[in-house]
Amino acid sequence: MTTLHDSAFLKAARGETVPHTPVWFMRQAGRSLPEYLKLREGIAMLDSCADPELIVEITLQPVRRYGVDAAIFFSDIVLPLKAVGVDLDIVPGVGPVVANPVRTLADVDAIPDLTADQIPYITAAVQGLVGELAGINGGTPLIGFAGAPFTVASYLVEGGPSKEHAKTKALMFGAPEVWDALMRKISGISAAFLETQVAAGASAVQLFDSWAGALTPGDYVRHVQPHSARVLEQVGKLGVPRIHFGVGTTNLLDLMGEAGADVVGVDWRTPLDRAIPMVGDRAVQGNLDPTLVFAPTEVMTARAAEVIEAGRAARGHIFNLGHGVIPSTDPDQLARLTEFVQSYPLG
């Protein structure tokens, strides 16, 4: 009988020999599943992220359907900001919209710190999930989730999603003292959010930096890396594997690993055979192009095999897509992909 500690996912994250290549999918809990869409009817996104029963059910849905090697906690990058009282909402078709964007030190000072007693629904949901997951496939690990400081800061400064991040960079370059204060504030919030999940039973965490690819390596090192490192260091004290993922971060993979990751997530733009030498003695996660699930099954699985083969060179390899599941994805195709990866011979 296996224990959670011996799960393929956690073994790969630690760089140990695995019984099969573990697989899970970013955004596996969500918009591609008909059972999710039915459950979410008439319920706002942030409301669903604050309801323990909904969080548990949504997180479990893809584990039941696919038999993936890990569950990812259902939440949203901006939920911790909402929890501390920031006036924001997730507008369908747009994304997070902040009513009063951050511009000054006073704006930063107005954002409270996050404590576990502000998010009892997170503790309750994680505890419920850990109990349920213990009985699935001999024990399925739960991955805690939080947005990285740069990405969260960008939403706060821009007031919503942005392609250029012009206001964000203007603050970063033009008012470094405000930027530093904001990043310190957010890193504290992100760390507290992850610590709450781990304290309740999460077996690993992922720090997700959607927009870090907009930065040069020099600007990342100077203005961002120390703050992501602070989050990862705090969580590292709890003894769980830490995954650090960013989009379009080919030029930052080494630096993201050095920020304190045990596992570096690689998006689909960078082949693993290029990424692995960059990340050092760390495991990698990824990185099939999410659009390949729309290709014929034999094309998808052939490309998945290439990813698995390339991943052999890493200290450990967790199979994933190179970004989140696209909403129009056919769940049956993801099931075929999961079965293919888990049954792919490692010998």
Report the sign of the C-alpha dihedral through residues 56, 230, 161, 98, in that order: positive
Tokens representing 82? Answer: 């909402």
- Which helix (H) or strand (E) segment holds residue 347: the answer is none
CA distances from 263 to 4, 21, 26 (A): 18, 14, 14
Tokens representing 213? Answer: 């690819």
Dihedral class, residue 226 (left if φ above 0, else alpha if ψ from -120 to 50, else beta):
alpha
Q: Hey, which residues are catalytic here?
A: 27, 31, 40, 76, 155
CB 146 within 8 A of CB 87: no
Residue from 76, 98, 224 nearest 156 by CA: 98
- Tell me the backbone φ, ψ of residue 105, rounded to 5 degrees: -60, -35
CA pair distance 296, 120, nearest whole angstrom = 44
Assess whether the previous peptide bond of 251 is cis (omega < 30° from 0): no
CA pair distance 88, 113, nearest whole angstrom = 16
CB 71 within 8 A of CB 60: yes
Residue 131: count other Cβ atoms within 10 Å of its Cβ: 11
Angle at 112 between CA 107 and CA 113, to 5 degrees: 130
